[in-house]
Structure 1
Amino acid sequence: MADFPSDNAAIATRGLSHTFGAGSVRVKVLHDIDLSIDRGEVVILMGPSGSGKTTLLTLVGCLRSVQSGSAQLLGQELAGADDPTLMRMRRRVGFIFQAHNLHESLTAIENVRMGLEVHGPRAMRGWRPAAQRVLDLVGLEDRLDFLPEKLSGGQKQRVAVARALVGNPDVVFADEPTAALDSKSGHQVMQILRSLADQRGTTVFVVTHDHRVLDLADRIVQMEEGRIVDDGRKAS
């Protein structure tokens, strides 16, 4: 087994386990997960529904408390971390979900603005140029003031991508970001994330069932029944 964690690891877990419920309904959904993802790497996590993919994503993304084992994000141990530490780490990551979760009463640029609110008043002072830059990046420079009802499904998801990127995150977590999109739109969304990794060194960790975007990953990790069955690394 490789040293844990490597100096270049953005995400690293060892012996990470997780359980839902209690007593007779207690179910262990993750079993001793060992995984390391380097900075700037694009990793796709695949596996059957119910295999624990989203649970793993939310644990290393600071959306769920670590129960057992170790999980490190950008060098910070998350097991036992207090709320201020978890909040500080959340400011360094961005999230993209299958449902774009846009506010229907806000324009595209106003929806992106919400991605800066967690960064405090200083970031909010320059919100409009920052939001416009990421909307330009995702090809929506002519849709800044459109409400979601005037956008296609692919355009809505690209607004959600822009919202996740506006704070310049070190790590982007994406849970089924292309599931509701056609092949072209889905590939465009993943190509944006691929470009971020290549140009900025952003780490990208994606849960997906979408075989159409596998060519954009550096590594494909396979999960089954709460265990990593293939970490995608070539044997040395």
Structure 2
Amino acid sequence: MQQEPIVDVRGLNHWFGVDTARRQALYDISLTLERGSFTILMGPSGSGKTTLLTLIGCLRAVQDGSVRLLSQELNGAGEAQLVAMRRRLGFIFQAHNLHESLTAAQNVMMGAQVHTGVPDALAEKASVHLLRLVGLAERADYLPANLSGGQKQRVAVARALVGQPALLLADEPTAALDKESAAEVVDLLIRIGKARGMTVLLVTHDNRILDRADRILTLEDGRIVRDDRRAPA
């Protein structure tokens, strides 16, 4: 029996504003994301990339159309359901959003406590394991101020993974990184995603990482205009 896609979007439309200021941002978006896939969503500024990401990630309410996430319909979902669904996802953003007063390990632990509600002892064990996985075991006790940009983003990756999400959503995670650091972050996501069967949807303008995706979706003026699929690496 074929598994249902992690994400199944059908006829999705979205608007911002009201009355004469109302503007449509997404037009009839349909797409599916399969388990373990690594998809890049690209397009010019204002094309609707982040809006689509936030709708899939339960950060906005679905207005029109269908978004099925982990077999649950999001159109009509209440705030409590959206919060519960968000806790099953991983998020990475351009700004790493680390707490400057917490060490790398404590930042990852906080993700475990927020998303999984695990006891402190288990959260600490998980944070150490994930920092080792992203190559930062020796910097677990460092504050963010003492980490490079690439290292901070790897801490953010570890924090996003601590809840063992089936879907990880990343919004411009490499934009502020140099070429080498950007490649390291993306390769980490691919390697860990494949090992865990985790689906990754990454929004980017970064042409340096396009060759690493097995699918590239291009959005223009709120519409998907290209869907390029590649053989998995």
Residues 182-197 of structure 1 aligned to structure 2 (within 5 Å): 182-197=178-193
SS at match of 1:190: helix
TM-score, length-normalised on structure 1? 0.93
Partner of 2:32: 36
2:14 is the counterpart of 1:18: yes
Q: Report how far residue 125 of structure 1 moved.
A: 4.2
SS at match of 2:118: helix
User: C-alpha separation between the residues in 1 aligned to 2:71 and 2:103?
Assistant: 36
User: C-alpha separation between the residues in 1 aligned to 2:115 and 2:9?
Assistant: 27
TM-score, length-normalised on structure 2? 0.94
Segments of 5+ residues of structure 2 without an aligned counterpart are none
Residues 157-176 of structure 1 aligned to structure 2 (within 5 Å): 157-176=153-172
Q: Report how far residue 72 of structure 1 moved.
A: 1.0
Partner of 2:104: 108
> Deviation digits for residues 43-80 of structure 1, max 9, x if unmatched?
00010000000000000001111011001111111111
User: C-alpha separation between the residues in 2 aligned to 1:109 and 1:118?
Assistant: 14
Q: Percent identity?
A: 58
Partner of 1:139: 135
SS at match of 1:9: coil
User: C-alpha separation between the residues in 2 aligned to 1:171 and 1:101?
Assistant: 19
2:215 is the counterpart of 1:208: no
Q: Report how far residue 232 of structure 1 moved.
A: 2.2
Partner of 1:50: 46
User: C-alpha separation between the residues in 1 aligned to 2:123 and 2:197?
Assistant: 23
Which aligned segments of 4 or more residues in structure 1 are displaced greater than 4 angstroms?
none
Q: Report how far residue 7 of structure 1 moved.
A: 3.4
Letter in 2 for 1:131: S
User: C-alpha separation between the residues in 1 aligned to 2:114 and 2:4?
Assistant: 26
Kindly indicate whether the alpha-carbon contact (under 8 Å) linking 2:88 and 2:115 is maintained by their aligned counterparts in 1.
no
Q: Report how far residue 83 of structure 1 moved.
A: 2.4
- Pick the aligned partner of 2:225 from 225, 229, 233: 229
2:90 is the counterpart of 1:72: no
Letter in 2 for 1:185: S
Q: Across the two proteins, how many residue pairs are aligned to each other? A: 229
Kindly indicate whether the alpha-carbon contact (under 8 Å) linking 1:35 and 1:231 is maintained by their aligned counterparts in 2.
no
User: C-alpha separation between the residues in 1 aligned to 2:215 and 2:206?
Assistant: 14
Segments of 5+ residues of structure 1 without an aligned counterpart are 1-5
2:216 is the counterpart of 1:220: yes
